[in-house]
Every structure is written in C-alpha cells, then in structure tokens.
Amino acid sequence: MQYDVIVVGGGPSGATAASRLAREGRTVALLDRDGRIKPCGGAIPPRLVRDFDIPDHQLVARINTARMISPTARKVDIAIENGYVGMVDREHFDEFLRVRAETHGAERLTGTYLRIERDAAGPSVVYREKASGQEKRISGKIVIGADGARSNVARSEVPGGDTIPYVIAYHEIIASPQSEDYDPARCDVIYDGQISPDFYGWVFPHGPQASVGMGTQVPGVDLKAATADLRRAAGLESCETIRREGAPIPLKPLDRWDNGRDVVLAGDAAGVVAPSSGEGIYYAMVGGDCAAEAAMACLASENPAKLAIARKLFMREHKTVFKVLGAMQDAYYKSDERRERFVSLCHDLDVQRLTFEAYMNKKLVRARPMAHLKIMLKNIGHLTGILRATS
C-alpha cells in the first residue's frame, strides 16, 4: 500500500495533521516513537479548545491568575478576565490526539524514524519497529515531518533544518502541595537569572499534580540544580517527584518548511514556538493543520510548490505576534535589571488586559490605540532607564 501522506511524529502537531488528512479522506500513516513525554507547562488557550474541539475532561486545571515574580521576589498577580488558561497533561493529551487521529482513519505505527528513501513511485519512510526491532518501510506520496525540535526529517530534507536555535527545557512533575501559598488556579512565572539566565522558570498547576521547571539556551547551566533551587524557593522541595523530563524547544520559525518536492514540516520541527512565552501546543496544532492543508493542495494539483502553502498560511496569521514576542524577549530577558523592569511593566492594567486578550484569542488587540501608546511609552521609559523598576 502507498499512503497519500506519512506523518512522522505523533505529538500535537503530527496528530493534528494526521487527523485532518484522515477526515478529508486521505490515506495516512502516523509514525510515533511511543512512550516519550515532552517537558511542557501544558498551557493551552480557549481558542485552541474551540478550534480543535478539545473536550473538558482533557483540562486538568483552569487558571484564572498569573503571578509574575521578579529577581528581587516582587510579585505581580494578573487576573485573567473573561477567560482562562487551560492546563493539560501531555502524557494523556498527546495520546488523546493520536487516538482521535486513528478514530478518523489514520493508521498508527510505533517505531523510530531512520531515513527517507526514494524511487520512481515516491518517498518511503524507513523506521525501526518498536515491537520487533526490525527495519520496516512504508511508501507514500508526501511526508510531514513533525518529529520535534532537532527534527531528523528537517535535518536531512529541508534547507536550514539543521541550524534551528533552541533552548533546553527541563521540568519535574510533582504531587500538588498542600500549602496556603500554593493556588491550584494560579500559574507562577519566575523571571530570575539564578533560575534561568535567559528565559524563565515556572510552577504550573495540573490538578493533582504540578509542573515545575525552567529553560535556557546558555551552555553549562545545570537544569536539575536550577529546578531544585526553584522548588526550594517555592516551598516545593518536599513534594513527591512523579517524573522528570527534558527536551529542546525551538526559538525561531525556519525560513523554509518544505523541500520543494515531497516533504513539509510542522510544529517544533518547523520552529513554531512563541518567543518570550515558550508557548508551543497551540502553534504546533495550527502548524499541523497548515501542513495538512499544504499536503492536500499538493496531492490535488500534483504540484510540489503547493507545499510552501504551510508556512504562508501560518505566517499570515501569526508572524506579527512572533515578531512582537521576539522583540520583548530580546529587550527584557538579557539581565536581572531588565527582568525587574519587565515585571514592573506587568503592574500596568492595560498591559495585563491586552496581554491576556491576545493570548486567549491569538490576535493582537488593535481596538485600544491609547492603551498601546501608553504601553509603548512605558516600554521606552523602562528600557532607557527613565522609569524606575518599581514604576
């Protein structure tokens, strides 16, 4: 059998692509390594829940407050008005998406991707089957590489796919504490160079569990030691540790997502994680949907140039948000003095409202020009040092 599309990687992006293609009547193979759980805070916006029909039982928590903590331990609590931040546990959420793709008609295969080989009929994916340990081969017309940051598909098939920058993220899933300072409906985001010199740390509730972790691009940082420091500072050192996970998270979308022939990338493999926040689940699923759209256009037209549609569709809606968040990370994550000023900026009610309106709906809010002007002036004041860090 020759599949229409072979999807390599069964995370949110690959599972979404496989599900969309199968619903559209295409024959799809979904190849996943199985057993891998990506380290992830697990936050998803209401728009993802709506757009991708996520049932309530997949939400292990609904967050109504975000607490920003500065290097000097100043705390700013931001109420999330007119919405929430949903929390999922990737151990169960990713499997739910894979099962849904299979229900729609995708064939699930378990194994490790090895390479792509080609003949006159098209590309074949060679993988090592988990159950037997033997090499297997499946043929298709198009391959979607959704195999994560440092993607092997991207590295071998797409120009620039081997040069994507990334941070290393590490977290520990712990049993939720029973303490007055822990709020199961509040996310804590820690901007402190002692925890992460260039990113941030987090404590995110997951119902009966919590995710505690950090990320950094700086070589030589001891991620486990930094997370232990974070747990001590948050009073979480005595909580039971359920599991530990680490993985790279890309920092920038690739300039090209396809090879102009028969391969297109999606999700972390394409670099679609939001700068500054590190948010990836929503953008991964959108990227998977865009890759599926491009694959269908290519199959219908027999024109490989159609694979470029994936990046165009994604960037048309999200390019500006990525630019703004990238500029914010470049401006404020460079030093503790800058991080202190960033938390000060979070005191502003307009900053709070516009930030979470944009987060929940995944669009920049353009209806409040005076608020944007005030925020811009405050940004300039903090970055030039005209305003004090407590302003």
Q: Could you report the per-residue pLDDT of 364-381, keeping only the tens digit for each?
A: 555 554 444 444 444 444
Q: Could you report the per-residue pLDDT of 283-326, keeping only the tens digit for each?
A: 999 999 999 999 999 999 999 999 999 999 999 999 988 888 88
Phi, psi angles (nearest 5°) of residue 270: -95, -5
Residue type, 350: D
What is the distance between the alpha carbons of residues 188 and 180, in angstroms, rounded to a whole number? 14
Does residue 276 carry a pLDDT above 60?
Answer: yes
First-residue to last-residue Cα distance in the chain: 65
Among candidate residues 202, 191, 193, the one with its CA nearest the CA of residue 234:
202
Beta bridge partners of 120: none
Does residue 383 carry a pLDDT above 70?
Answer: no
> Which residues, 6 or more positions from 372, have their beta carbon under 8 angstroms from its beta carbon?
354, 366
What is the distance between the alpha carbons of residues 158 and 77, in angstroms, rounded to a whole number? 43
What is the distance between the alpha carbons of residues 191 and 344, in angstroms, rounded to a whole number? 12
* Matching residue, tokens 């004090």: 388
Q: Could you report the per-residue pLDDT of 9-67, keeping only the tens digit for each?
A: 999 999 999 999 999 999 999 999 987 788 788 999 999 999 999 999 999 999 999 99
Beta bridge partners of 129: 111
Residue 390 confidence (pLDDT)? 62
Q: Calculate what percentage of the chain has a pLDDT beyond 90.
A: 71
Q: Could you report the per-residue pLDDT of 38-53, keeping only the tens digit for each?
A: 878 899 999 999 999 9
Q: Could you report the per-residue pLDDT of 201-246, keeping only the tens digit for each?
A: 999 999 999 999 999 999 999 999 999 999 999 999 999 999 999 9
Does residue 107 carry a pLDDT above 60?
Answer: yes
Domains, the chain, with CATH or none? 2-41+89-164+251-318 (3.50.50.60), 59-87+166-250 (3.30.9.10), 322-384 (no CATH)
From the CB of residue 64, how many other CB atoms can be counted at a distance below 10 Å?
16
Span 249-269, average pLDDT: 95
> Which residues, 6 or more positions from 151, have their beta carbon under 8 angstroms from its beta carbon?
9, 145, 161, 265, 268, 269
Half-sphere exposure of 131 (CA within 13 A, CB side): 3
Does residue 172 carry a pLDDT above 60?
Answer: yes
| Crossing angle for the helix pair 336-345 and 369-384, to the nearest 10 degrees | 160
Residue type, 11: G
Q: Degrees (nearest 5) of the Cα angle 176, 54, 364?
A: 90
Lowest-confidence pick of 38-47, 171-180, 266-275, 351-360: 351-360
Alpha helices for 302-368 (secondary structure H): 309-332, 336-345, 349-361
Does residue 136 carry a pLDDT above 70?
Answer: yes
Phi, psi angles (nearest 5°) of residue 241: -90, 120
What is the distance between the alpha carbons of residues 176 and 385, in angstroms, rounded to a whole number? 40
Q: How far is CA 42 from CA 29, 171, 242, in A?
A: 26, 11, 16
What is the pairing mode between strands 122-129 and 28-32? unpaired
Residue 379 confidence (pLDDT)? 46
